Amino acid sequence: MSQISTIFKECVRAIRDGVLIEREGRNDKEFHFQNWFKARLQRIGENFDEPGRNTYPDFRLVRFTEGYELKGLAYPGREADYDCNSQVPCGEHNGRQVLYVFGRYPSNPDGNRYPVLDLVICHGSFLNADNTYVHKNKSFRGFGSYGDILVRDRKMYVAPTPFALAEGTAHRRTLILPADMPVDADLIEIAELTRREVDRMVVAYSFDLRTNELATTLVPNPNAGREHVFKAYRVAGDPIEAITLCERSREIAERNYAEVDDDNE
């Protein structure tokens, strides 16, 4: 039992019908897209736990073991990757399947009501296949001339978006799920996407406070070469041209992040 298909189709319906995002004001930089999605859940009568600043995923359904993490992206703007704050993307968390909802909206709207330009709902395993990593922030005291300064190792993760991973998702509405996950019969399959695990994986890193150099430790990936197969779907009436994986998604994301980092300096 799943509500993924129903939720995706409701989002597409709302976009087609011109249901707009409504922000409370220009200072509302986080919750406007969440509120739009929340209204979609309410319209289909689905109960959920209210999101909070430290909850993951944002919306956790009550009757189904599914959670939805929302990522609103301004367009044009940074769209190849996004900040994950303290949670690495994954496909399962606390027994729930995790779906990521990426929606793009105008970066400079002329008011507080504006459309959802395009949408991708994807299973978290499309972004990262590992569900075992547990995030923890650590700290130590002893830094500085008097040895009484605390250093916090507060990790930030930056992951690629589906718009960078798959060509043909921009300006469309797409659902991407593991190939063995069932969907409603009226959804149209448009592509099969296969992601392969890397040969070596990062298991540790160190930072030299004298040189500001960051070093990583890599080991052979026990799942090297393992293929994870996904299928992409659209609602009838939407364009059904196939989408494909980008060959240089990592380079695109790294370049995009470097450009944003330079802008912030």
In a domain, 223, yes or no: no
Decide: pTM greater than 0.85.
Answer: yes
CB 86 within 8 A of CB 56: no
Whether residue 209 lies inside any domain: the answer is no
The answer as to whether 214 is a domain residue is no
What pLDDT is attached to residue 258? 62
Predicted pLDDT at 251 = 65
Is residue 187 within 8 Å of residue 231, measured between CB atoms? no
What pLDDT is recorded for position 250?
Answer: 62
Whether 12 is in a domain gets the answer yes
> Domain for residue 216, yes or no?
no
pLDDT value, residue 55: 86
Per-residue pLDDT of the chain (265 residues; tens, 9 = 90+): 799 999 999 999 999 999 999 988 766 666 899 999 999 999 999 999 988 777 899 999 999 999 999 999 999 988 889 998 778 999 999 999 999 999 999 998 888 899 999 999 999 999 999 999 888 889 999 999 989 999 998 888 999 999 999 999 999 999 999 999 999 999 999 999 999 999 999 999 999 999 999 999 999 999 999 999 999 999 999 999 999 998 765 666 566 656 655 554 4
Q: Which residues contact 106 (CB under 8 A, 6 or more apart)?
A: 74, 75, 114, 115, 117
The answer to the question of residue 221 being in a domain is no
202 domain residue, yes or no = no
Residue 156 in any domain: the answer is yes
How many structural domains are present in the chain? Answer: 1
Q: Domain residues for 115?
A: 4-195+228-264
Q: Which H or E run includes 113?
A: strand 113-114
